[in-house]
């Protein structure tokens, strides 16, 4: 089973870091195969950026995402560029305060979270990507909660681990509660 993921937003939101965490959780802690590629505008901060992750139970023969199974959009520009290019029956996750979808492809599983607002409420706006990472983990179940938390612990300086784990838990719980309402 192979899953293509595209994470998109603007530079400074931690989109590349989120892709790195998805790949690390999958490849190192869940025992899957994963590749990550990234792209961003020359201005870096504030310009469009994306991270593409391919996760597979077997070897990844092509590391680039063509038509993703999962799209995470944390900016309107990112959604406009990538939000419609998703497989039938794919999954779309957005930051509901930053992305206002004008149209969602029929048959897409659509979920939203106020990830930036939740991070701001924690006095940690910079952790909005980690709130979204938790939400992504709960909704998609592509990686396990345990592996995602291990990836966080293994990827941040000691003084930043606690706030990032709290941000992850906030997004993860939001996702679990949302799934319970849907079922």
Distance CA 25, CA 19 (A): 10
Range of the domain at 44: 2-182
Q: Structure tokens of 94?
A: 């957005």
Tally the domains of the chain. 1
Beta-strand relationship, 2-10 and 48-56: antiparallel
CATH number at residue 93: 3.40.920.10
Per-residue pLDDT of the chain (183 residues; tens, 9 = 90+): 899 999 999 988 999 999 999 999 999 999 999 999 998 765 556 677 899 999 999 999 898 999 999 999 999 999 998 888 999 999 999 999 999 998 888 899 999 999 999 999 999 999 999 999 999 999 999 999 999 999 999 999 999 999 999 999 999 999 999 999 876
**pTM of this structure:** 0.94
Check the CA dihedral 47-127-171-60 and report its sign. positive
């Amino acid at each position: 089973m192979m899953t293509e993921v595209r994470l998109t937003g603007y530079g400074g939101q931690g989109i590349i870091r989120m892709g790195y965490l998805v790949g690390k959780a999958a490849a190192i802690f869940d025992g899957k195969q994963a590749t990550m590629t990234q792209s961003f505008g020359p201005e870096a901060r504030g310009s469009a950026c994306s991270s593409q992750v391919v996760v597979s139970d077997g070897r990844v023969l092509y590391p680039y995402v063509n038509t993703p199974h999962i799209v995470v959009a944390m900016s309107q520009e990112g959604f406009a560029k990538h939000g419609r290019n998703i497989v039938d029956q794919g999954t779309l996750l957005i930051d509901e305060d930053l992305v206002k979808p004008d149209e969602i492809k029929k048959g897409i599983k659509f979920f939203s979270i106020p990830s930036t607002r939740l991070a701001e409420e924690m006095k940690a706006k910079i952790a909005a990507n980690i709130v979204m990472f938790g939400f992504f983990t709960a909704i998609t179940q592509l990686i396990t909660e345990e592996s995602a938390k291990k990836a966080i612990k293994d990827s941040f300086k000691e003084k930043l681990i606690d706030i990032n784990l709290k941000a992850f838990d906030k997004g993860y719980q939001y996702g679990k509660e949302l799934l319970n309402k849907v079922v």
